Chains A and B, each alone.
Chain A
Amino acid sequence: MTKAKAKELLKTQKYGSYWERNRASGGYLFKKDVMNFFVKVCRFVLLFGMCFLILQPILNKISVSFMEESDLYNPIVVSIPTKFTAENYIMAANIMQYGKGLKNSTIISLTIAILQTAMCTIVGYGFARFKFPLKKMWFAFVLALIIIPPQAFSSSLYLHFRYWDFLGIVRAIKGEGLNLRGSVLPYYLMSAGCMGLKNGLYIYLVRQFFRNIPVDLEEAAYVDGCGMFKTFTRIMLPQSKPIITSCFLFALVWQWTDGFYSKLFLGGKVLVSTSLANVVDALGVYVARQQGAVNEQVSVSTQLSNCILSTGTLLIIMPILLVYLFAQKAFVESIASTGIKM
């Protein structure tokens, strides 16, 4: 007998059956139970509807990606294909150079994410735990970094890296600025300087997290003769695992899907995100080559190109979904644990 059942039985022995108790309470008990049930049903319907709303585009894409070409033109076929085929996946993977892109994207996203997380953690800790002159000004710059979109000055950024120079030093030595475009280096440098994608946000989150740790802990460490840096590595870092994990995951995922910085700095490399952006154009070339016409422009129907686009999107989000499945808690809970306040 379960505990709840035992409790129920005890109640029945003490106060009589459910209906008797209901009568004794003046109908309140029954009314309450009905209300609770009603609320439960409403909640279920609402949540189910909203979850479906969010998942529907993905479900749609999955159903489209398994359709044969004839199904795409068939107005009767809406979501369940008549013939299942994996052809689209092979085609999309070929067009996007998926294997190569996957490898490149994984390496770049991982290294960039590690670099950005490390740097943002250090900087966020500095902002959270130390008092120094002009702190407010520097923090205002961090906030500005969050608010100003990089697209707003992408042209100057482009020119800046085409003729990269600092205070005219390089120009004085070489006579011309360094061309940092087309290599991976500038983006790594930018990440090391916390100027990558959404790094202002990570700094803000880390700072918020460290501000909540009691000062006593740090002071105790100082009193015991622990230096500033040692306190950071030995006392603070082990506690900040959740926020570091979440920053890392966000950096990883957003870098994976990012098109802007990838196009600006890593244009030469095959990445999954940039190849997805070009998949429709590449499809025309691919189909033409398959038909043996090299120089002619073969028009591809919108249905097919959209089908390939959906398949490509699925191919891209599959690795992220896997990461999300395993690290779902880390994504969600760490934001909750920082206790963001104004």
Chain B
Amino acid sequence: MKKQKNKLAGLQKRKAIAGYLFILPFILGFLLFMVKPMLDSLQMSFSLVTLSPGSVAKQWIGIENYRVAFRVDPDYSQNLVNELSRMILYSIGIIVFSFFVALILNQDFKGRGLVRAIFFLPVILSSGVMLGLEENNYLMAMISQTVETTTQNISVTGALQTILRTAGVGTRAYEWVFEIIDNIYDIAVASGIQIIIFLSGLQTIPKSMYEAADIEGCTSWESLWKITFPMISSIFLVNWIYTVVDFCMRSDNDVMDKIQTVMVVMLDYGPASAMSWAYFLIVTAFIGITSFFISKGVYYND
């Protein structure tokens, strides 16, 4: 008996060693290339950085840089608040939109593959250098402006907006909805991967469940809420995290832009590092808290 146990322990040990061998590239890469820059930038965020050719001098000044970032810098906290509220709004918009599209794409119709391919296209095209270019392309803006002015009289959202505004109820909520609708392009472009993840989730739901519900007299509206929703609730969590991370890490984000400006143009390495660490911590905390609450509502079928 004892011998057998030893043998098992031997196998486990061998497996542990093999496991370490497999992840060795990652460990090496992390230690060699990531740890030092990360620690450096953490240290910079607490110190006064003076650059001279060939060397960098760091002098410990405590949380002064964080004070500068939040209290002295005119834009940072403003940008942060704006960006976070925009992130919440957009993330919800993206989740709803991609869920809706995934539901449609899960149905059977001609040309489904083509539509799926088109929805996924932005994941590939609006990445890297292309992201910033789209924003400040004057000519494109002009064309869309021309289209807008010629179609102004038939703007549905505009008309609705005026009607609902005069009604005067919950103006703020309406405005949020309208902001999402007005920026539907941004949302459609940002939801390629989410749609695919939702689709894969939808396809794992067994058909027999819907059939049983159908026989019991469930309408498809009811089975959407009673079957589809609980069954893919874990996918909602995944998509939420992915969306928030994706939104925060985009390089055309205001806060990231601000950090880049402070770092590259003004060469204030200390405050810039403080800003990025504060931003990173806030986003991580946000993801942690929201996913904690979402995971409470997640239903696991096993």
Contact = CB atoms under 8 A, between A and B. Distances in A.
Interface of A: 40, 43, 46-47, 50-51, 53-55, 57-58, 60-61, 64, 72, 75, 78-79, 119, 122-123, 125-127, 129-133, 135, 138, 141-142, 145-149, 151-157, 159-160, 166, 189-190, 192-195, 203, 228-229, 232, 253-254, 256-260, 273-274, 276-277, 302-303, 306-307, 309-310, 313, 316-317, 320-321, 324, 328, 331-332, 335-342
B38 interface: yes
Interface in B10-26: 12, 14-23, 25-26
19 contacts: A51-B115, A53-B185, A54-B121, A57-B134, A57-B140, A64-B140, A78-B143, A123-B23, A132-B16, A154-B263, A160-B33, A160-B36, A160-B37, A306-B137, A310-B137, A331-B124, A336-B200, A340-B238, A341-B235
B137 A126 contact: no
Contacts of A154: 263
Given A152-B280, A324-B124, A332 B117 contact: yes
Contacts of B116: 332
A336 B196 contact: yes
Given A54-B119, A194-B25, A153 B16 contact: no
A203 B130 CA distance: 25
A301 to B, nearest CB: 10
A341 B38 CA distance: 29
Contacts of A135: 19
A273 to B, nearest CB: 5
Nearest to A48: B115
The secondary-structure label for the interface of chain B is: helix
Contacts of B203: 336
B237 interface: yes
A328 B113 CA distance: 9
A190 B138 contact: no
Given A51-B118, A336-B203, A130 B138 contact: no
Given A50-B101, A339-B204, A342-B298, A153 B30 contact: no
Interface of A is mostly: helix
A132 B128 CA distance: 36
A266 to B, nearest CB: 13
A267 to B, nearest CB: 14
Given A54-B121, A130-B18, A193-B29, A43 B107 contact: yes
Interface stretch (B1-9, B78-86, B222-230, B268-276): B268-276
A313 B130 contact: yes
A40 B134 CA distance: 34
B184 A313 contact: no
A4 to B, nearest CB: 15
Given A126-B20, A153-B273, 17 more contacts: A43-B104, A54-B185, A54-B189, A72-B139, A146-B245, A147-B245, A148-B38, A152-B279, A193-B25, A193-B30, A193-B33, A232-B22, A306-B137, A316-B129, A321-B125, A342-B237, A342-B298
Contact of A253 (B101, B109, B124): B124
A36 B188 CA distance: 26
B41 A155 contact: yes
Interface residues of B, number: 91
B157 interface: no
B233 to A, nearest CB: 10
B220 to A, nearest CB: 10
B128 A151 contact: no
B160 interface: no
Contacts of A57: 134, 140
B8 to A, nearest CB: 13
B36 to A, nearest CB: 6
A240 to B, nearest CB: 14
A130 B19 contact: yes
Interface in B26-77: 26-30, 32-34, 36-38, 40-41, 44, 56
Nearest to B203: A336
B87 interface: no
A303 B16 contact: no
Contacts of B248: 149
B127 interface: yes
B260 interface: yes
Contacts of B245: 146-147
Contacts of A146: 245
Contacts of B238: 340-342
B15 A130 contact: yes
B92 interface: no
A145 B26 CA distance: 11
Contacts of B295: 342
B120 interface: yes
Contacts of B290: none
B104 A138 contact: no
B95 interface: no
